Amino acid sequence: MSNPYEMREGFHVLTDTRSHEWCEAEFDAGRTTSRRWVVWDKIAATPQAKWVGPAPISAQIAPILGDAEEANTLPVFVSYAIPFRDAGGASSGGFRDVKSYQAWAKSFAQFIGESPAVVILEPDTLIHMPGLSTKQRRDRLACLTYAVQSFKHYAPNTYAYLDGGEGRYNSPASLAPWLAQAGIADARGFAVNVSNYNTTGVCQSFAVELCGILDLPDVGYVIDTSRNGNGPPPDSYIHANPTTWWGNPPGRKLGEKPQYTGGVNGFDATLWVKLPGESDGPYGVAPHSASSEFLPEVAYNLYYGR
């Protein structure tokens, strides 16, 4: 397997994010406010991941693969289409059955083909395992192992990362057996902190411990740093919002920008997996928003950490 990070010059900047589209609309309307410039310069112009859902794959990724090849940059995709996605939470959806998902995952890998890419496979799938039925667990593992094998076979220049938890509340010891059953031995590794707020240092410590338990050669990991600049909300906020604290909490901040970290001790890269400014659902500072809705004020405040 080739190292995709070393095949291209930096990460690809998407032009179809909601932050980018909002900035374009503001500019076209003549509204060149400080908020617009902050969102454009600090968020829309930063490489972010493309979330890919349960629809025909070519239309979702073909333009990005083409643009990335022309720019000699590395695209980052998030596969988010597994049946019973988000365990029926705010981001519920996905395919209705295992066979449909497997066919889609195969087409995803085949369409990427020889192109260098990074793919985060199904965030939240493994951290939800304890609360699922036996059949749901079996189906979920069947989807993940098939996807891992598909990328290994059809996309040799792609690094695929499984769900590695959020780096704080899911213990490495509890996640390691699920990662093993999901086929991590044939993937590049795992992703930590997707759509969460834990600091890079905390996530690194978590990931190093998890790598030690897995005891696999060359296992790597990436960390989502899109919103971890101030770390998680204070304990007082978490205790006051025990089931929804993760949804649009106040005072969060943009984290380190995406960069390839060289794979030292397995640490491959910091990535912006969750798109800053897009809602987690009707919670926190955006109680009337929908999941993935772009909120300009939230995006603006992420720059200042308020």
All residue ranges of the chain with pLDDT < 70 are 88-90
Q: What is the CATH number of the domain that holds 38?
A: 3.20.20.40
Name the residue among 34, 12, 46, 39 with its Cα closest to residue 23.
39
Phi, psi angles (nearest 5°) of residue 63: -60, -35
State the catalytic residue, choosing from 86, 139, 163, 268. Answer: 86
Instruction: Quote the pLDDT of residue 90.
Output: 66
> CA 53, CA 242: separation in Å to the nearest integer?
29
Task: Give the pLDDT confidence of 171-213 residue by residue, as tens digits.
Answer: 999 999 999 999 999 999 999 999 999 999 999 999 999 999 9
State the catalytic residue, choosing from 16, 124, 215, 224. Answer: 124
Whether 163 is a known active-site residue: answer no
Residue 14 contacts residue 50 (beta carbons within 8 Å): yes
Q: What is the pTM of this model?
A: 0.96
> CA 157, CA 176: separation in Å to the nearest integer?
25
**Tokens encoding 70:** 């022309």
Residue 40 contacts residue 276 (beta carbons within 8 Å): no
Number of domains, the chain: 1
Instruction: Quote the pLDDT of residue 32.
Output: 83
State the catalytic residue, choosing from 139, 163, 268, 280. Answer: 280
Instruction: Quote the pLDDT of residue 163.
Output: 94
Instruction: Quote the pLDDT of residue 169.
Output: 81
Whether 215 is a known active-site residue: answer no
**Tokens encoding 61:** 């990724």
Strand order in the sheet with 50-52: 50-52, 76-79, 117-121, 158-163, 189-192, 220-224, 267-271, 259-264
Identify the domain containing residue 61 by its residue range: 4-304
Give the bridge partners for 74, in sequence order.
11
Residue 184 contacts residue 220 (beta carbons within 8 Å): no
Task: Give the pLDDT confidence of 237-262 residue by residue, as tens digits.
Answer: 999 999 999 999 999 999 999 999 99
